[in-house]
Amino acid sequence: MQIYKVGGAVRDRLLGKPVTDIDWVVVGATTEEMLAKGYRPVGADFPVFLHPKSGEEYALARTERKSGRGYGGFTFHASPEVTLEEDLIRRDLTINAMAEDDQQNLTDPYHGQRDLEERILRHVSPAFAEDPLRVLRVARFAARYAELGFKVAPETLELMRQLSESGELEALTAERSWKEISRALMEDQPQVFIQVLRDCGALKVLMPEVDALFGVPQPEAHHPEIDSGIHTLSVLEQSALHKQPLTVRWACLLHDLGKGLTPEDEWPRHIAHEHKGLKLIKAVNERFKAPKDCQELALLVGQYHTHGHRALDLKASTLLELLQSFDVYRRPQRFEEFIVACEMDARGRKGLEQRSYPQADYLRGAANVARGVAVQPLLEKGFKGPELGEALKRERLKALKAYKESAAS
User: For the chain, what are the domain ranges?
Assistant: 1-111, 119-206, 225-368, 372-408
pLDDT tens track for 278-293: 999 999 999 999 999 9
pLDDT above 80 (res 76): no
- Whether 147 contacts 126, CB under 8 Å: no
Query: In which band, very low, low, confident or very high, does the pLDDT at 21 lie, cut at 50, 70 and 90?
Result: confident
Higher pLDDT among residues 67 and 370, named by residue: 370
pLDDT at residue 199, as a whole number: 98
**Spatial separation of the C-alpha atoms in residues 352 and 231, rounded to whole Å:** 11
Query: In which band, very low, low, confident or very high, does the pLDDT at 44 lie, cut at 50, 70 and 90?
Result: low
**Spatial separation of the C-alpha atoms in residues 28 and 162, rounded to whole Å:** 36
pLDDT at residue 408, as a whole number: 86
Mean per-residue pLDDT for 77-84? 89
Centre a 10 Å sphere on the Cβ of residue 292 and count the other Cβ atoms it contains. 8
In whole numbers, what is the pLDDT of the chain averaged over residues? 94
Query: In which band, very low, low, confident or very high, does the pLDDT at 79 lie, cut at 50, 70 and 90?
Result: confident
**Spatial separation of the C-alpha atoms in residues 392 and 373, rounded to whole Å:** 8
pLDDT above 70 (res 72): no
pLDDT at residue 45, as a whole number: 67
pLDDT at residue 87, as a whole number: 93
**Spatial separation of the C-alpha atoms in residues 154 and 162, rounded to whole Å:** 12
pLDDT at residue 66, as a whole number: 58
pLDDT above 60 (res 171): yes
Query: In which band, very low, low, confident or very high, does the pLDDT at 384 lie, cut at 50, 70 and 90?
Result: confident
DSSP 203-238: HHHH-HHHHTTTT-B--TTT-TT-BHHHHHHHHHHH
Mean per-residue pLDDT for 312-340? 96
- Whether 182 contacts 246, CB under 8 Å: yes
pLDDT at residue 77, as a whole number: 81
Query: In which band, very low, low, confident or very high, does the pLDDT at 402 lie, cut at 50, 70 and 90?
Result: very high
Query: In which band, very low, low, confident or very high, does the pLDDT at 223 lie, cut at 50, 70 and 90?
Result: very high
1-111 shares its CATH topology with 119-206: no
**Spatial separation of the C-alpha atoms in residues 262 and 264, rounded to whole Å:** 6
DSSP 13-66: HHHTPPP---EEEEES--HHHHHHTTPEE--SSS-EEE-TTT--EEEE-EEEEE
- Whether 93 contacts 108, CB under 8 Å: no
Mean per-residue pLDDT for 163-169? 93
Question: Where is average pLDDT lowest: 137-151, 177-191, 239-253, 375-389?
Answer: 375-389
**Spatial separation of the C-alpha atoms in residues 298 and 290, rounded to whole Å:** 10
pLDDT at residue 316, as a whole number: 97
pLDDT tens track for 87-127: 999 999 999 999 999 999 999 999 999 999 999 999 999 98
**Spatial separation of the C-alpha atoms in residues 128 and 130, rounded to whole Å:** 5
Bridge partners for 78 per DSSP = 62
How many percent of the chain have pLDDT more than 90? Answer: 87
pLDDT tens track for 177-195: 999 999 999 999 999 999 9
CATH number for 119-206: choose from 3.30.70.980, 3.40.50.1820, 1.10.110.30, 3.40.605.10.
Answer: 1.10.110.30
pLDDT at residue 47, as a whole number: 85
DSSP 244-282: --HHHHHHHHHTTGGGGGS-GGGTT--TTHHHHTHHHHH
Q: Alpha-carbon dihedral of residues 29, 31, 34, 35, nearest 10 degrees?
A: -160
How many percent of the chain have pLDDT more than 70? Answer: 97
CATH superfamily of 1-111: Beta Polymerase, domain 2 (3.30.460.10)
**Spatial separation of the C-alpha atoms in residues 1 and 223, rounded to whole Å:** 62
Mean per-residue pLDDT for 52-60? 92
